[in-house]
Structure 1
Amino acid sequence: MNKDSEWFDFGLDKQAEERAKMLHENSTIIDLLFQGPLSPSAIPDEVSAELKQAYEPYRNDPHTYSSLPRKGLLDKALIGGLPQFKEEWYQSGITAGNRQLSLTNHESIIKSMAEVQVQFDTFDWLIKVKTAQDIRYAKENGLKAGIITSQESVGLQTDLTLLDALYDFGLRVLQLTYNRQDYVGAGCAEKSNAGLTNFGIDLIAHLNQRGILIDTSHCGKQTTLDACHYSNKPVIASHTGVENIYPHMRCKSDEEFKAIAETGGVIGVFAMPWFIHEEPNHTTIDHVLDHIDYLVKLVGEDHVGIGTDWPMSDLTWSLVYFKEHIAPLLGFASGDGPSTELVKGLEKYSSFINITRGLVKRGYGDEQIQKILGLNWLSVFEEVCG
Structure 2
Amino acid sequence: MFFADGLNCSNFDRAVFQELVDGGLGCVTVCLGFWEDAVASMDALGRFRDLVRANKDLVAIARTGAEIEAIAGSGRCALVIGYQNTAVLNGNIRFPELFADMGLRVLQLTYNNQNEFGGSCYEPQDSGISRFGREMIPELNRCGILIDLSHVGERTSLDVVELSEHPVAITHANPATLVPHLRNKSDTLIRALAARRGVIGLATYANICGEYGASPSKWADMVAWTVDLAGIGHVAIGTDHGRNVGMPDLTWMRQGNWSRIINYGAGNAARPGKVAEPGWIDTMKSFGAIATALAARGFSQDETALLMGGNWLRLYTEVFGETDAQKQLAA
What interval of TM-score do these two structures reach, taking the shorter chain for normalisation?
Answer: 0.7 to 0.9
- 1:370: which partner in 2? 305
- Match status 1:348 vs 2:278: no
- Match status 1:225 vs 2:158: yes
Q: In the TM superposition, what is the alpha-carbon distance from 1:322 to its structure 2 partner? A: 5.3
CA contact (8 A) 1:283 1:342 kept: no
- 1:313: which partner in 2? 243
- Match status 1:106 vs 2:38: yes
Q: In the TM superposition, what is the alpha-carbon distance from 1:235 to its structure 2 partner? A: 1.0
1:314 maps to a residue whose letter is N
- Match status 1:303 vs 2:234: yes
Change (3 A) 1:211 1:98: same
Q: Matches of residues 272-351 of structure 1 in structure 2 within 5 Å? A: 272-277=205-210, 283-310=214-241, 312-314=242-244, 318-319=246-247, 327=254, 328-329=262-263, 331-332=265-266, 333-335=268-270, 339-351=274-286
1:359 maps to a residue whose letter is L
Query: Relative contact order (C-alpha < 8 Å, sep 6+): which is higher?
Result: 1
Partner Cα distance (2:214, 2:44) in 1: 32
- 1:158: which partner in 2? 91
RMSD of aligned C-alpha atoms? 2.1
Unpaired runs of at least 5, structure 2? 255-261, 322-331
2:18 maps to a residue whose letter is E
Q: Matches of residues 84-163 of structure 1 in structure 2 within 5 Å? A: 84-102=15-33, 104-125=36-57, 126-163=59-96
CA contact (8 A) 1:157 1:183 kept: no
Partner Cα distance (1:132, 1:338) in 2: 36
- 2:195: which partner in 1? 262
Partner Cα distance (1:184, 1:330) in 2: 24
Partner Cα distance (1:216, 1:162) in 2: 20
Q: Matches of residues 13-92 of structure 1 in structure 2 within 5 Å? A: 27-36=1-10, 70=11, 74=13, 77=14, 84-92=15-23
Q: In the TM superposition, what is the alpha-carbon distance from 1:330 to its structure 2 partner? A: 6.9
Q: 2:292 aligns with which of 357, 360, 368?
A: 357
CA contact (8 A) 2:175 2:185 kept: yes
Partner Cα distance (2:41, 2:281) in 1: 31
Q: In the TM superposition, what is the alpha-carbon distance from 1:329 to its structure 2 partner? A: 3.9
CA contact (8 A) 2:21 2:75 kept: no
CA contact (8 A) 2:5 2:25 kept: yes
Q: In the TM superposition, what is the alpha-carbon distance from 1:278 to its structure 2 partner? A: 5.7
Q: 2:125 aligns with which of 192, 195, 208?
A: 192
Change (3 A) 1:348 1:300: same
Structure with more of its chain in helix, by fraction: 1
Change (3 A) 1:247 1:154: same
Change (3 A) 1:351 1:306: same
CA contact (8 A) 1:322 1:339 kept: no
- 2:168: which partner in 1? 235
Q: In the TM superposition, what is the alpha-carbon distance from 1:99 to its structure 2 partner? A: 2.7
Partner Cα distance (2:218, 2:272) in 1: 17
Partner Cα distance (2:275, 2:8) in 1: 17
- Match status 1:385 vs 2:320: yes
Partner Cα distance (1:224, 1:326) in 2: 21
Partner Cα distance (2:42, 2:99) in 1: 10
CA contact (8 A) 2:119 2:127 kept: yes
CA contact (8 A) 1:173 1:213 kept: yes
- Measured against aligned partners, the alpha-carbon deviations of 1:155-187 in whole angstroms (never above 9, x if no partner) come to 323202222111000111111011210111111
Q: Tell me which structure has the larger Cα radius of gyration.
A: 1
Number of residue pairs matched? Answer: 311
1:90 maps to a residue whose letter is V
CA contact (8 A) 1:228 1:235 kept: yes
2:85 maps to a residue whose letter is E
Partner Cα distance (2:124, 2:288) in 1: 38
Unpaired runs of at least 5, structure 1? 1-26, 37-69, 78-83
Partner Cα distance (1:35, 1:228) in 2: 24
1:151 maps to a residue whose letter is Q
Q: Percent identity?
A: 27
SS in 1 for 2:181: coil
Q: TM-score, normalised by structure 1?
A: 0.76
Partner Cα distance (2:38, 2:136) in 1: 18
